[in-house]
């Protein structure tokens, strides 16, 4: 009888421990939840581009804005390797640059380095082309006009230390067709197409 009671207790203890082990397996394994960074802009225009670039300028993310108005979206930036990155909102008139760092899955925005780069503007009225650029720093700019069909350079200008540039070009006696206005400044290239 003692042997039967002893065997019963062992069987009961084994059943309880197996039952406890089985219950442990039923609990789901909790995964690390991503940290979402919300990026918001009060005013965007349809057709603007939102980009995430690394320090070397490599585009990691690109999105065409689909509607005009307010824009907001969440991004998990913690999965990026340690390094320097930046958001760019590229609109028709300007580029807003917002730099941030990723270090050990922590994201730190460098708000004091946020910058707005104003693009050169090209406007056509009759056969006159108005070119202007507003900048709060005197960044050098190279500027060329090409006749699009044969890539002939029509005009070339270089501006060294002029923050505000305003020029008017008369195309009334020029060949009709498409012209490309190509601007290079601060390591960036801007191209505007104009039909005369």
Question: If you average pLDDT over residues 46-68, what whole number do you get?
Answer: 94
Q: What is the pLDDT of residue 61?
A: 95
Question: If you average pLDDT over residues 32-54, what whole number do you get?
Answer: 86
Question: 34 pLDDT exceeds 70?
Answer: no
**Confidence tier at 32 by pLDDT (50, 70, 90):** low
Q: Are 164 and 144 in contact (CB under 8 A)?
A: no
Q: What is the pLDDT of residue 4?
A: 47
Question: If you average pLDDT over residues 127-154, what whole number do you get?
Answer: 87
**Token pair in block for residue 38:** 């919300």
Q: What is the pLDDT of residue 134?
A: 81
Q: What is the pLDDT of residue 73?
A: 92
**Token pair in block for residue 99:** 């730099």
How many whole angstroms separate alpha carbon 62 and alpha carbon 187? 20
Lowest mean pLDDT among 44-48, 136-140, 147-151, 165-169: 136-140
Question: If you average pLDDT over residues 79-100, what whole number do you get?
Answer: 93
- CA-nearest of 9, 182, 190, 19 to 95 is 190
Question: If you average pLDDT over residues 80-105, what whole number do you get?
Answer: 93
37-117, which class in CATH? mainly beta
- CA-nearest of 78, 67, 142 to 104 is 78
Query: Within the chain, which residue ranges are assigned CATH 2.60.40.3080?
Result: 119-195
- For domain 119-195, give the fold: Immunoglobulin-like (2.60.40)
pLDDT per position as a tens digit, 7-29? 554 555 545 554 555 555 445 55
pTM of the predicted structure, to 2 decimals? 0.70
């Amino acid at each position: 009888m003692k042997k039967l009671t002893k065997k019963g207790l062992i069987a009961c203890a084994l059943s309880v421990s197996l039952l406890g082990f089985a219950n442990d397996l039923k609990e789901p394994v909790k995964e690390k939840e991503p940290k979402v960074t919300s990026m918001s802009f009060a005013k965007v225009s349809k057709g603007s581009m939102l980009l995430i670039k690394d320090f070397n300028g490599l585009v990691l993310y690109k999105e065409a804005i689909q509607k005009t108005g307010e824009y907001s979206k969440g991004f998990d930036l913690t999965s990026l390797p340690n390094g320097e990155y930046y958001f760019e909102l590229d609109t028709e008139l300007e580029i807003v640059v917002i730099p941030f760092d990723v270090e050990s899955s922590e994201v730190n925005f460098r708000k004091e380095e946020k910058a707005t780069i104003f693009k050169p503007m090209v406007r056509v009225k009759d056969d006159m082309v108005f070119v202007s650029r507003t900048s709060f720093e005197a960044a050098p700019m190279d500027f060329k006009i090409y006749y699009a069909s044969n890539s002939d350079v029509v005009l070339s200008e270089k501006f060294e230390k002029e923050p505000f540039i305003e020029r008017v070009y008369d195309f009334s006696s020029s060949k009709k067709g498409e012209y490309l206005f190509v601007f290079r400044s601060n390591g960036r290239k801007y191209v505007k197409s104009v039909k005369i």
